[in-house]
Amino acid sequence: MNTPLAQLAAERCRSGVNPLLPEELAAALALLPGWQVEGQALSKRFRFQTYREAIAFVNAVAWVAERADHHPDLQVGFAVVTVRYSTHSAAAITRNDLIGAARVESLLLV
């Protein structure tokens, strides 16, 4: 699903960045099927047919993250990848995390 979130510019991470309000997070999650809040992070588990597909996805996520200078934690298993976004300087979920999640979702449209 390509959402308007994916088109937004990420903000430069800095100390004091505001976490999302609960209602902002709830509204955004409606646009990001399968993503869920786990503690102070936004995460989703992606399943693939092969290890090669999973690694190709990881490489694409890494490329998107580098361009935005906002990097998720990635957990890689055989044909399974978990992407976990959290803004460490805020110790919470921020708008940048939503933008990152939306961009990751956009990778699967190809």
Domain presence at residue 101: yes
Q: What is the pLDDT of residue 1?
A: 41
Question: What is the domain-level CATH number for residue 86?
Answer: 3.30.1360.20
Name the phi and psi angles at 71, rounded to 5. Answer: -110, 125
Tell whether the model's pLDDT for residue 105 goes beyond 60: yes
The mean pLDDT of the chain is 87
Domain that holds residue 53: 34-110
Name the phi and psi angles at 41, rounded to 5. Answer: -135, 160
Domain presence at residue 54: yes
Domain presence at residue 9: no
* Domains contained in the chain, number: 1
pTM: 0.85
Three-state SS letters, 42-78? EEEEEECCCHHHHHHHHHHHHHHHHHHCCCCEEEEEC
> 46-85 pLDDT, tens per residue?
999 999 999 999 999 999 999 988 999 999 999 999 999 9
